[in-house]
């Protein structure tokens, strides 16, 4: 018997960031995080579950197949049509994480099957643009669908988080989303703070380097407590979370922006002062930060944030998007601009990659 399902899931940009884990293997963060779900940066994943021809244990795992759709000349945005490009075996490290998660989901469902999986991202992977969040949220939903199971949003969030990508737990919901921190039991899941329609914020993403980052977020979480400033960061976070929740509830951009920038700088301060240190920023990152500050002196409402990578997300209201995008796009170190905005959560679709 074969069951096949395809899911799309959005990336998200953290306004308050998960950095440092209570339980790294199941993605339980030490601190609560808040994110904005995106709509242009999306992962699509097809999972085929094959029962009947499955052998047990190691043989079953050997018959699993994991592919990525190779980047074509043009990656369609969601709704623009099917991804073009040939299927290639997934890189080893990524395939390992996918296989581990498939095995976890297979056991959860009590199924005896092997899997064929194909996945693609509409944006650069592993470059600090939350491709794990969207990728593992899409993989989780597609696998649950292929296994014929049904889950609530809470269960989907828990299952996605157990991939080890805590941010994937937030990508199962649209709009503005909060994931609580630990120490908590393994049932921690994301909650929606507001629907996408609550506040139309834009995210102008300045790509200064598209290659995968040298140090993974998982490694970053593991090193975070070695920073002498990590305790101070955690102590400040309760107030910052309150400010960000309030700013979102009141749609107060002047309250949100500075808190989001401080938060991003804090995360990178922890990374840079960890042992051994992690430098995600590139010279181009600083060029973009400088340009954002200059835009503000000219009255343009825009604030930056940066996940674990060199690329900069600039959060702004709709009327500032054009100016931000054209100004940043003209910078020497910016290779590409992706214009994104708050969007809905994942969905099952009928256009399969396999």
> CB of residue 34 vs ligand DP6: minimum separation in angstroms?
9
133 binds ligand DP6 (CB under 6 A): yes
Burial 260-279 (b: 16+ CB within 10 A, else e): bbebbebbbebbebbeeebe
Instruction: Extract the tokens encoding 271.
Output: 């990374």
> CB of residue 164 vs ligand DP6: minimum separation in angstroms?
7
Candidates 46, 132, 140, 143: give the one binding ligand DP6 (CB under 6 A).
132
Candidates 17, 50, 106, 223: give the one binding ligand DP6 (CB under 6 A).
17
The residues, any chain, with a CB within 8 Å of residue 82's CB and separated by 6 or more, are 76, 351
Stretch that binds ligand DP6, among 39-47, 130-138, 146-154, 324-332 (CB under 6 A): 130-138
> CB of residue 161 vs ligand DP6: minimum separation in angstroms?
9
Residues 329-348 that bind ligand DP6 (CB under 6 A): none
Stretch that binds ligand DP6, among 40-48, 203-211, 216-224, 332-340 (CB under 6 A): 216-224
Query: 16 forms bridges with which residues in the sheet?
Result: 34
125 binds ligand DP6 (CB under 6 A): no
- Letters for 30-59 (x = contact with ligand DP6 by CB under 6 A, - = none) are ---x--------------------------
134 binds ligand DP6 (CB under 6 A): no
User: CA angle, 181 as apex, 180 and 187 as ends, to 5°?
Assistant: 70
> CB of residue 289 vs ligand DP6: minimum separation in angstroms?
17
Stretch that binds ligand DP6, among 161-169, 282-290, 331-339, 346-354 (CB under 6 A): 161-169
14 binds ligand DP6 (CB under 6 A): yes
Taking the least distance from each CB to ligand DP6, the nearer of 9 and 111 is: 9
- Letters for 296-335 (x = contact with ligand DP6 by CB under 6 A, - = none) are -----------xx---------------------------
Calculate the CA dihedral of residues 128, 134, 137, 143 and round it to 10 degrees.
Answer: -120
Residues 165-204 that bind ligand DP6 (CB under 6 A): 165-167
d(CA 60, CA 62) in angstroms, rounded, equals: 5
Interface with ligand DP6 (CB under 6 A): 14, 17-19, 33, 130, 132-133, 165-167, 216-218, 221, 307-308
């Amino acid at each position: 018997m074969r069951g096949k399902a395809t899911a799309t899931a959005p990336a998200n940009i953290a306004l308050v960031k998960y950095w440092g884990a209570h339980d790294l293997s199941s993605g339980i963060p030490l601190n609560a995080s808040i994110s904005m779900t995106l709509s242009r940066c999306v992962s699509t994943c097809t999972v085929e579950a094959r029962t009947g021809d499955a052998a047990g244990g190691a043989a079953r795992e050997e018959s699993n197949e994991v592919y990525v759709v190779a980047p074509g000349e043009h990656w369609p945005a969601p709704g623009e049509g099917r991804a073009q490009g040939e299927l290639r075996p997934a890189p080893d490290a990524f395939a390992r994480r996918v296989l581990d998660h498939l095995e976890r989901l297979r056991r959860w469902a009590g199924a005896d099957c092997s899997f064929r999986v194909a996945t693609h991202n509409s944006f650069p992977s592993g470059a600090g643009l939350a491709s794990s969040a969207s990728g593992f949220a899409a993989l989780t939903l597609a696998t649950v669908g292929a296994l014929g199971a049904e889950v609530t949003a809470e269960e989907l969030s828990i299952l996605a988080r157990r991939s080890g990508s805590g941010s994937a737990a937030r990508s199962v919901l649209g709009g503005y989303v909060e994931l609580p921190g630990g120490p908590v039991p393994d049932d921690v899941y994301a909650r929606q703070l507001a629907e996408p329609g609550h506040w139309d914020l834009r995210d102008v993403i300045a790509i200064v380097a598209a290659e995968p980052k040298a140090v993974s977020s998982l490694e970053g979480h593991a090193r975070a407590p070695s920073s002498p400033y990590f305790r101070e960061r955690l102590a400040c976070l309760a107030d910052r979370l309150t400010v960000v929740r309030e700013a979102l509830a009141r749609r107060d951009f002047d309250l949100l922006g500075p808190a989001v920038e401080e938060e991003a700088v804090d995360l990178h301060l922890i990374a840079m002062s960890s042992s051994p240190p992690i430098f995600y920023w590139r010279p181009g990152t600083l060029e973009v930060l400088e340009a954002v500050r200059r835009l503000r002196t000219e009255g343009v409402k825009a604030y930056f944030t940066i996940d674990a990578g060199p690329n900069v997300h600039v959060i702004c209201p709709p009327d500032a998007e054009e100016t931000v995008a054209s100004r940043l796009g003209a910078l020497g170190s910016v290779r590409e601009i992706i214009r994104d905005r708050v969007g809905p959560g994942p969905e099952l679709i009928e256009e399969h990659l396999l």
